[in-house]
Amino acid sequence: MPALCRSEGTFVVHYDRGEQHVDRLVALLHEAERSVLLRAVPSRPAFRVVIFSDRRRYAAACKSMDPQNARAPNSPAGAAADTLYICRLRDLPLSRLPRLVRHEYAHMVINATVGNRPLPRWLAEGIACWATGYGGPSEGRLQPGKAVPLEQMEAAFLGTDRAQTNLVYAQAHALVSLLVQQRGEEALGDLLRRLGAGSTLEQAMLASVGMDAHALWETWQRQPWQGKGTPIPPGSNIQP
């Protein structure tokens, strides 16, 4: 564990002496706290943030947080599990930090709301991308008829095929953006709370969104496509 510790409102930040940009990270966390899913979820617990200096210790921590994910040790973005967020700021261009902090903060909020229940990655990553307004490198590059089927998305998130992984991030973003566009942010919060209370995904989707995941998928596929980009629901925050 890094040597220094700083308590900042709902965040406890651990870092080593000489670490740069800690202030920037803390400011971004507070910004995310004010804007991401605020209306959607109940009270949030304290979040712990660990900034690693040592590359190998960081890689080991990433791996232990998400053992199923073949790419986890190589992710420069950091990772969130439960209410813990880890990152290695030295690997990150500062310009990417706002997006990454928002994304990982959304994961912590999701985790705090649903507890230890595993969510399908299309939903968790879709919400984190929606909170950021960005679905990764394949954003805007989805093509009609070439989507990864819903039941294959989980494996694509975990695999080593970077192009496939990028594709399913963009798809997840599009699915959750469509959900919010059609049912509102409140429905998303309601969905997470129902999952946290023990509903199955199908039960929670039907009660909060009025359709199950497959119906959402079908609705998404029926959306008009704009050029070579993702189907863009009118009024969504997708930036193709």
Q: Which residues are at the interface with Zn ion (CB under 5 A)?
A: 125, 128
What is the nearest approach in angstroms of Zn ion to the Cβ of residue 79? 8
Task: Measure the CA angle with vertex 102, ends 219 and 118; round to 5°.
Answer: 60
Exposed, middle or buried, 1 (CB in 10 Å: 0-12/13-18/19+)?
Answer: exposed
Nearer to Zn ion, 19 or 123 (CB): 123
Residues 6+ apart with CB under 8 A from 127: 37, 106, 110, 176, 188, 192
Nearer to Zn ion, 12 or 81 (CB): 81
User: CA-to-CA distance for 28 and 214, rounded, in angstroms?
Assistant: 35
What is the nearest approach in angstroms of Zn ion to the Cβ of residue 234? 26
Nearer to Zn ion, 114 or 128 (CB): 128
Backbone dihedral angles phi then psi of residue 47, each to the nearest 5 degrees: -105, 140
Q: Of all helices (H) and strands (E), which one includes residue 121?
A: helix 121-132
What is the nearest approach in angstroms of Zn ion to the Cβ of residue 32? 13
Nearer to Zn ion, 79 or 209 (CB): 79
Nearer to Zn ion, 19 or 112 (CB): 112
Backbone dihedral angles phi then psi of residue 12, each to the nearest 5 degrees: -115, 120
Indicate the SS3 state at residue 83: coil
What is the nearest approach in angstroms of Zn ion to the Cβ of residue 21? 21
Residue recorded with tokens 């590059």: 141
What is the nearest approach in angstroms of Zn ion to the Cβ of residue 222? 27
Nearer to Zn ion, 77 or 211 (CB): 77
Nearer to Zn ion, 28 or 128 (CB): 128
Task: Measure the CA angle with vertex 103, ends 235 and 97; round to 5°.
Answer: 110
What is the nearest approach in angstroms of Zn ion to the Cβ of residue 24? 20
Residue type, 172: A
Residues 6+ apart with CB under 8 A from 146: none
What is the nearest approach in angstroms of Zn ion to the Cβ of residue 165? 11
